[in-house]
């Protein structure tokens, strides 16, 4: 079984570290980015199997990041999961229109996060 690589994008260093440790415990490879622009650079330099992104970030938010990633070769079908404190239906609709595969609210239980990640990677 090949190791799956997950790109974690969040402007909070604490959140990046937390998500990274949860995913590394499950033997996923983790690539970190502090914002959408850094995430785009990461995605261009090495393919990832799943993108886990915050919605509200400086420079480039999650919606814009997902739209730009979807245009890149190899990312049309890549699962992209939004993890955010946002709860508004309009934000969720925006995420779906951007091409997000799913939406989880922070704070999220580790078990829930891992279950959703595993299910998206199986598709």
Tell me the sheet residues that pair with 51.
7, 80
For the entire predicted model, the pTM comes to: 0.96
* 65 part of a folded domain: yes
What is the pLDDT confidence band of residue 109, given thresholds at 50, 70 and 90? very high
- Provide the domain count of the chain: 1
Mean pLDDT of the chain: 95
Give the CATH number, domain containing residue 27: 3.40.50.2300
Q: Measuring CA to CA, which residue among 47, 49, 78, 62 is closest to residue 15?
A: 62
- Cα–Cα distance between 65 and 107 in angstroms, integer? 22
Q: Answer whether residue 1 shows pLDDT above 70.
A: no
Residue 69 has a pLDDT of 97
* 81 part of a folded domain: yes
Q: What is the mean pLDDT of residues 94-120?
A: 95
Q: Measuring CA to CA, which residue among 5, 96, 8, 97 is closest to residue 53?
A: 8
* 2 part of a folded domain: no
For 121, the enclosing helix (H) or strand (E) is helix 110-122
pLDDT digits (tens, 9 = 90+) for 9-18: 999 999 999 9
pLDDT digits (tens, 9 = 90+) for 27-73: 999 999 999 999 999 999 999 999 999 999 998 999 999 999 999 99
């Amino acid at each position: 079984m090949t190791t799956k690589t997950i790109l974690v994008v969040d402007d909070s260093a604490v959140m990046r570290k937390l998500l990274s440790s949860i995913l590394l415990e499950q033997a996923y490879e983790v690539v970190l980015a502090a914002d959408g622009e850094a995430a785009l650079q990461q995605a261009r330099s090495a393919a990832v199997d799943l993108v886990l992104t915050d919605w509200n970030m400086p420079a480039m938010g999650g919606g814009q990041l997902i739209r730009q990633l979807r245009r890149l070769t190899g990312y049309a079908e890549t699962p992209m999961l939004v993890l955010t404190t946002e709860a508004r239906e309009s934000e969720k609709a925006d995420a779906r229109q951007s091409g997000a595969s799913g939406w989880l609210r922070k704070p999220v239980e580790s078990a829930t996060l891992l279950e959703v990640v595993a299910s998206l990677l199986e598709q």
